[in-house]
Amino acid sequence: MQRPGGDSGTGWKLHILRQLGHRDRQQHSAYRELVQSYNKLLEKSTFLKDLTEKIQSEPPPTSPGSHHDARSQSEAVAESGDIPALQKEMSAVQSANGELAFEACELKKQVQERDDQLKEQSTRVANLLDLAEGHQLQRQCLEEEVVLVVCANAELKERYDHLLSQRRLVEERLQETEVEQREILEDMTKKKALQAAQQNDLNERRKEEMWRRMLRKALRKTVSAEGDFVSNQSDDSHDTRSLEMSGSVELEKPLARQTRSQSLIAISPSRVLGVLKNFFDFRKEQPEFVGEDSWYRPSSVCVLCSLPTRALYSKEIHDSEIHAVRFSPNAKLVATGGADRLVKLWDVVGGQLQSHQVLEGSNGGITSIEFDAWGVQLLAASFDCSAHLWRLDTRSKESLTGHSKKVTAARFKMSPYRAVTCSMDRTIREWDLHKLACIRCVQVSSYCSDVVCSESYLVSGHHDKKIRFWDSRSERCIREVTLEEKVTSLYMDQDQIQMLSCSRDDTLSLIDMRMAHILRVFRADGFKCGCDWTKAILSPDTGYVMAGSADGTIFVWNAHTGALERSLNGEHSTSVNAVAWSMSGEYVVSVDRGRKAVLWSEY
């Protein structure tokens, strides 16, 4: 209820009292006139009633005196008028008296009703006064709370102003620091670019010198269409004669079905030097003993990859979905692994996959497969919280245990006796394969989905949308690349210059390993990453990018332009989990959730 009496505490009470007094005065004046009229009528009625009773009750006079009185009365009546007139007047008076009595009763009833209403209103006024008093107390409490809140707001405003000034100072410092960091980064980038250019020039000169020496040696050998070198069994005179032959390399008759990577006939003279380099690098004899600290850098023998166009072989080869596929370095074996806990080896013969060997011993599904540089060892990651190492020459098996959750990837490092694994337990572990012991453990902040190794650092892909570069000699993260969605796989080329990542935003990203920035992003209408372990690859000549989609289609992009070159469909009806490209560039194998493997080729 709003208080009309101003801000003082008693104003509203005075106002109510004034209103009640005004109402009493109005009603009292009306009742006073009514009561006065009623009293007058009542007095007249009583007088007439007494007079009538007195007249009716008095006997006629008998004595002379009474006769004299009666005579006097009759004379008085005669003087005042005749009796009928008086009787009429008395009847009229009695009738008016009755009406006045009825009106008096009605007025008395109305007075009683008004008294009842007045009592009700008085009770209501008392209740309202009590309610107003309660509201007044509540208002006082609220005013006290308002005062406290105003004081607290004033304190908060002071603190806010202080923090705002500090924030502005920190932002200014941050901007200055960012400017300094950009300048330092630009200087470092320029220096690194200059050093890289100088090192590249030096490397090119060294390579050219090495190729010249190797070319002089190659002039004394012949190359078959199968890629095997045959030394001429002759002395210096025969060497001299071989130099005079037309052409620096002697080719055998091509087979009925040649491929670009197996024959030098279709290669231009400008690429002969690179072909010989690749052949010689790949055909270097494997040392009888490789030390624990020895490092290798695998070399590709592929000159130019051919785009696959048709399926040569299609069959269900596992009892459940297949997660991983990998070609051996000599491109003669294919390894597949899946949820049935088996790793199966297949020979590629005449465009068919023929069973070669089955590797058992895993207690969980296989998630990834890796051959060493000579195809002698096979490393597989498993859902049984471990990685398994098979030696194909002795058919022995060892296990790397130490992870607490599923192992998502396992890779050989540049040394044949070092391996790296990553797991859902948010750790990356480095292993000594001689001792089968973990020699380093890196704790990461997110679930690791894949890992690759270079000479100087490890690279891991995570579900927090980041690719992290780790120093191979410490546990320090030296740089990060952030993508739009979580990473499903990583693939690094043979020269360790570029890396391909696949992520759940249905894109592939080609990343420069030296500068750790994205060179190109590959997308296509209809391409959809099927699961959290979908694997994408680069072709051996780094000219193409390939990945399987959730609908069973295989997409191939041009790595240099980003354009979609080809899409292969019709064979897979479920999501393609992984693809592999042979080192010769001739074959591609794809595997899917429906237990099927498909062998693709250009011919």
Q: Residue 460, exposed/middle/buried by CB under 10 A (0-12, 13-18, 19+)?
A: buried
Residue with tokens 């990203």: 509
Q: Are residues 385 and 481 in the same domain?
A: yes
Q: What is the rounded distance in angstroms from the CA atom of residue 504 to the CA atom of residue 519?
A: 19
First to last CA, the chain: 96
pLDDT of residue 39: 80
Q: Are residues 252 and 314 in the same domain?
A: no
Q: What is the rounded distance in angstroms from the CA atom of residue 491 to the CA atom of residue 499?
A: 6
Q: What is the rounded distance in angstroms from the CA atom of residue 146 to the CA atom of residue 505?
A: 53
Q: Are residues 510 and 552 in the same domain?
A: yes
Q: Are residues 239 and 96 in the same domain?
A: no
The reply to whether 66 falls in a domain is no
Q: Are the CB atoms for 172 and 180 separated by under 8 Å? A: no
- Provide block-wise average pLDDT over 10 residues at a time, the chain (603 residues): 51 83 75 76 78 67 49 51 70 78 82 86 89 91 93 92 92 89 85 82 82 75 41 40 36 34 37 45 40 44 76 93 93 92 93 92 93 92 94 89 93 87 93 90 91 88 93 83 94 91 95 90 93 92 93 94 93 94 91 94 84
Q: Are residues 225 and 190 in the same domain?
A: no
The reply to whether 4 falls in a domain is no
**Strands 221-223, 564-568: parallel, antiparallel or unpaired by DSSP?**
unpaired
Q: Are residues 27 and 142 in the same domain?
A: yes
Q: What is the DSSP letter of 22?
A: H
With a threshold of 0.85, does the pTM exceed it?
no
Residue 91 phi, psi dihedral angles, 5° rounding: -65, -45
Q: What is the rounded distance in angstroms from the CA atom of residue 553 to the CA atom of residue 207?
A: 41
Q: Are residues 194 and 237 in the same domain?
A: no
b/e map 51-79, b = 16+ CB within 10 Å: eeeeeeeeeeeeeeeeeeeeeeeeeeeee
Q: Are residues 406 and 551 in the same domain?
A: yes
Q: Are the CB atoms for 454 and 496 separated by under 8 Å? A: yes
Provide the CATH number for the domain around residue 465. Answer: 2.130.10.10
Q: Are the CB atoms for 270 and 243 separated by under 8 Å? A: no
Q: Give the residue numbers spanning the domain of 239.
A: 221-282
| CA-CA-CA-CA torsion sign (410, 411, 413, 417) | positive
The reply to whether 289 falls in a domain is no
Q: Residue 3, exposed/middle/buried by CB under 10 A (0-12, 13-18, 19+)?
A: middle
Q: What is the rounded distance in angstroms from the CA atom of residue 406 to the CA atom of residue 323?
A: 14
CA distances from 404 to 386, 397, 400, 424, 425 (A): 9, 21, 12, 8, 6
Q: Count of alpha carbons within 13 Å of 119, Cβ hemisphere only? A: 5
Q: Are residues 260 and 363 in the same domain?
A: no
The reply to whether 205 falls in a domain is no
Q: Are residues 330 and 373 in the same domain?
A: yes
The reply to whether 72 falls in a domain is no
pLDDT of residue 555: 96
Residue with tokens 């992520």: 503
pLDDT of residue 72: 55
Q: What is the rounded distance in angstroms from the CA atom of residue 388 to the CA atom of residue 393?
A: 16
Q: What is the rounded distance in angstroms from the CA atom of residue 352 to the CA atom of residue 554?
A: 20
227 contacts: CB under 8 Å, gap ≥ 6: 262, 279, 301
The number of domains in the chain is 3
Supply the DSSP string of 115-132, one letter for each residue: HHHHHHHHHHHHHHHHHH
The reply to whether 107 falls in a domain is yes
The reply to whether 520 falls in a domain is yes
534 contacts: CB under 8 Å, gap ≥ 6: 488, 489, 502, 547, 548, 575, 576, 577, 578
The reply to whether 398 falls in a domain is yes
Q: Are residues 272 and 415 in the same domain?
A: no
Q: Are the CB atoms for 520 and 546 separated by under 8 Å? A: no
Q: What residues does 441 pair with on adjacent strands?
A: 429
pLDDT of residue 546: 96
Q: Are residues 178 and 226 in the same domain?
A: no
